[in-house]
A and B are shown apart, each in its own frame.
Chain A
Amino acid sequence: MSKPRVIICERSGIWATMFGRHLPRDVQVLQTRGLDECASALAAAPTALVAVELTHGNLADVLDLLGELPARFPLACVVILGERELRVCEPLVREAGAVAIFASPRCLAGLRQTATNHFAQLPAIHADFAESVWATLPWRDAATA
């Protein structure tokens, strides 16, 4: 199984800096600067937690990304990073499928646990030969690892 990954799509890099202080150590963080680049990164890591910066100009594109997720990347999870004046958009982005909304890089309480919970729920779909044989062994509930 590959390392858990967080993809951050933002203009400046401020959010990524703060994310690094809150996420578990074993999580790989990938920064992107635009939604197209973000979508490509997500295609390579379809189980990622994606953090997208919401701005005044990209609401429609963010909604399009959220709309595509259930069909193309059902195991991914999106959180929205926004400014306080964009809180009026919160019901809209949540209805579109965002899991959480963070209004400031300094207010990321709950991010670590949310990310941990997301990665803990991912199924082991992509298996190499050894893992696929292991998956067929009986008495799965008595496994030691």
Chain B
Amino acid sequence: MVDVQSTAAELAGLFDDSLAPVYVLDEDRRIIYCNAACARWTGVSLGELLGAQCVFCSDAEDRSAAAVVLGMCPPPKVFSGQPHQAVVSITRPDGRTVHRRGHFLPLSDGEDESAAVVAVLESSDCLPEGAATASDSSAQLHEQLRALRRRMAGRYRVDSLLGHSPTIARARAQIELAAATTAQVLIVGPSGSGKDHVAKAIHYAQAEPGALVPLACATLEANLLRSALRAAWSPTVPGERATLLLNDVEGMPPEAQLELSELLGRNTRRVRVIATAARPLGELAAQDEYSTTLAYALSTIAIELAPLGERLQDLPLLAQAFVERANVHGAKQIGGFTRQALDHLSAYSWPGNVDELADVVRQAHGRAAGGEVTVQDLPKQIRWAAESGVHPPRVDESIVLEDFLARVEKELIARALRRAKNNKSKAAKLLGLTRPRLYRRIVQLGLEQPGSEKQSKGKQTEPNRG
């Protein structure tokens, strides 16, 4: 008599030891079994895979375990009882996109729908779906382009613009309005305020996005830029619509402005222009710093983005999003910020806006040793701005030079004394001064009363902290 349990255990053992990834989905598409090879291939632990639900849809931009699992779902017809072979494509948490041919076998319990699906993947990676051979470059490019656009559409959704402030809420509404038209759009805001993100959100929110052609107008050399502009008006795919994204358009050299004006004058509906700039082009044109015709041609719809300093109520949410993004890219998992760290972030002026915040959070995430980012994990410029009480420059206010210099000197001496634990010899050395000179400045700046040092020497000998 066959010992059913023993046979089942042997079967499970075979799957466990297999080098090929094997997983089983129940009728709700939840993973009820997967082997170690599956965990290795996906880069996701067995604990995270078990119980996760697969859904047959394009993958999102995030690289969480749930997003990886999305790519593991077989086509719906398998659950109707049809065995199927297909390429399983996933983006691992480490960012690599991998592909394996899979064999999906439905297991029926006699009802119409399958009770479970067994998925057995091959032992080595293959080319993406649609790429027949390595030399079939057109098919491979098509697949790459499809995957890229799917990824970008997920990353640049309108709701990816985070914040509750009135300015960002208005920007989201304007994005949806702009996406519903083919009018040229100009996005104005300071450096790092998210102009490129808004532009891409408009493009991917369109009903038929087509190709996106981003050009860095202030970076590209003039002839390279002109050549790229002409290429944008020559479709790679006949009839394909395109969005020309002109970043930092105010930096476009005059000869390229002429080229662009001529191309816009061709009156084709195929190319739609979205431009970004730090200042309204009309202002620049009024100062003879930009082509007037082009300035108004590009500004049919104008969207203004505020500096981060004017929407600080969004800062905690943005900082949290950036720290969670850093968690995806690294092994360390940080939950958020201490209250004091958030206060420090809110006290800073953010001249680099959201991009600077992202960079600061990335640095702080790298330094954080505990479960939260603390004040000590923040970069120096953030800590100094809050701790020294340094205020943003008030350009309209006059200063008294001697008082200002005295304030800076007093702060430096006080810090040196704290670092030296009030040992004036050590503090003098830190400041590059002689001890007598340091003492004279301490008295002149009011940090101590005259004669206080003699009094303290009389009462006790200064401890030797050498």
Seen from chain A, the residues whose Cβ lies within 8 Å of a Cβ on chain B are 46, 56, 59-61, 63-64, 67-68, 70-72, 74-75, 77, 88-92, 94-97, 99-100, 109-114, 117-118, 121, 123, 125-129, 132-133, 135-141
Chain A residues near B352 (CB-CB < 8 A): 123, 125
Chain B residues near A61 (CB-CB < 8 A): 96
- Residue among B134, B149, B197, B359 with the highest chain A CB neighbour number at 10 A: B359
Contact of A117 among B144, B219, B391 (CB under 8 A): B219
Contact indicator B220/A64 (Cβ below 8 Å): no
- Nearest chain A CB to B200's CB is how many angstroms away? 9
Contact indicator A96/B148 (Cβ below 8 Å): yes
Chain A to chain B contacts (Cβ below 8 Å), 20 pairs = A59-B144, A60-B128, A67-B148, A67-B152, A68-B95, A70-B196, A72-B329, A75-B355, A77-B219, A100-B228, A110-B221, A117-B220, A117-B221, A121-B191, A126-B381, A128-B380, A132-B390, A136-B391, A136-B392, A136-B393
Contact indicator B390/A138 (Cβ below 8 Å): no
Chain B residues near A135 (CB-CB < 8 A): 351
Contact indicator B224/A114 (Cβ below 8 Å): yes
- Nearest chain A CB to B272's CB is how many angstroms away? 15
Cα A113 to Cα B225 in complex, Å, equals: 12
Chain A residues near B392 (CB-CB < 8 A): 136
B205 on the A face (CB < 8 A): no
Cα A89 to Cα B134 in complex, Å, equals: 15
| Nearest-neighbor residue (CB-CB) of A74 within chain B | B355
Chain A residues near B408 (CB-CB < 8 A): 133
Contact indicator A123/B236 (Cβ below 8 Å): no
Cα A61 to Cα B148 in complex, Å, equals: 12
B97 on the A face (CB < 8 A): yes
B211 on the A face (CB < 8 A): yes
| Nearest-neighbor residue (CB-CB) of B360 within chain A | A125
Contact of A114 among B97, B137, B211, B220 (CB under 8 A): B220
Contact of A100 among B192, B220, B355, B394 (CB under 8 A): B220
- Nearest chain B CB to A133's CB is how many angstroms away? 7
Given known A136-B392, A138-B395, A139-B395, contact A77–B216 (CB-CB < 8 A): yes
- Nearest chain A CB to B231's CB is how many angstroms away? 8
| Nearest-neighbor residue (CB-CB) of A99 within chain B | B216
- Nearest chain A CB to B387's CB is how many angstroms away? 11
- Nearest chain B CB to A14's CB is how many angstroms away? 21
Contact indicator B96/A64 (Cβ below 8 Å): yes
Cα A54 to Cα B97 in complex, Å, equals: 17
- Residue among A60, A68, A88, A137 with the highest chain B CB neighbour number at 10 A: A60
Which B residues between 414 and 436 are near A, CB-CB below 8 angstroms? Answer: none
| Nearest-neighbor residue (CB-CB) of B236 within chain A | A91
B83 on the A face (CB < 8 A): no
- Residue among B197, B216, B248, B390 with the highest chain A CB neighbour number at 10 A: B216
Cα A139 to Cα B395 in complex, Å, equals: 5
Cα A74 to Cα B210 in complex, Å, equals: 24
Given known A74-B358, A91-B236, A114-B224, contact A140–B393 (CB-CB < 8 A): yes
A-contact 0/1 string along B394-416, CB 8 Å cutoff: 11010100000000100000000
Chain B residues near A88 (CB-CB < 8 A): 137, 141
| Nearest-neighbor residue (CB-CB) of A109 within chain B | B223
Cα A90 to Cα B145 in complex, Å, equals: 11
Given known A64-B95, A89-B141, contact A71–B381 (CB-CB < 8 A): no
- Nearest chain B CB to A124's CB is how many angstroms away? 9
Chain A residues near B141 (CB-CB < 8 A): 59, 88-89, 92
Chain B residues near A77 (CB-CB < 8 A): 216, 219
- Nearest chain A CB to B399's CB is how many angstroms away? 6
Chain A residues near B385 (CB-CB < 8 A): 132
- Nearest chain B CB to A89's CB is how many angstroms away? 7
| Nearest-neighbor residue (CB-CB) of B151 within chain A | A67
Chain B residues near A90 (CB-CB < 8 A): 231
- Nearest chain B CB to A32's CB is how many angstroms away? 18
Chain A residues near B344 (CB-CB < 8 A): none
Contact indicator A95/B381 (Cβ below 8 Å): no
A-contact 0/1 string along B182-216, CB 8 Å cutoff: 00000000011000110000000000000111101
Cα A77 to Cα B222 in complex, Å, equals: 17
B56 on the A face (CB < 8 A): no
Chain B residues near A74 (CB-CB < 8 A): 192, 355, 358-359
Chain B residues near A139 (CB-CB < 8 A): 393, 395
Contact indicator A95/B95 (Cβ below 8 Å): no
B325 on the A face (CB < 8 A): yes
Cα A114 to Cα B222 in complex, Å, equals: 9
List 14 additional contacts besides A90-B231, A100-B224, A132-B390; criterion CB under 8 Å: A63-B148, A64-B96, A67-B152, A70-B197, A94-B228, A100-B220, A110-B224, A111-B221, A113-B222, A114-B220, A114-B221, A117-B220, A123-B192, A136-B392
